[in-house]
Amino acid sequence: MAKQQVVSSITALPKSPQEDRHDRMVKYCIAMGVRLVCIALCFIVHGWWLAVFAIGAIVLPYFAVVLANVGHQPAGTVVRPGGLVRVGSSNS
């Protein structure tokens, strides 16, 4: 039986590491910008809004780091290297 060779499409390839890093940096910077707005609003607002913006300023760094560290591959995807062949067997 002949093996069929799998040809990858250019649209099926993952993002380059530079593009992935850039996208993650943009997400992180947006979240930190929102945090700066929350910190600034803590000095302006009063009442229960102060608690809302204070919690946002405290919690946003955690979510920013989590979002920035999420890779481009979906969960459960395993990238298998090609060209590996088992040479020997331990049951000789």
- Using CA atoms, how far residue 67 sits from 18, 30, 53, 83, 91, in Å, is 17, 11, 20, 34, 47
Mean predicted confidence (pLDDT) in 40-57: 93
pLDDT at residue 8, rounded to an integer: 59
Does the pLDDT at position 73 exceed 60?
A: no
Which pTM value belongs to this model?
0.61
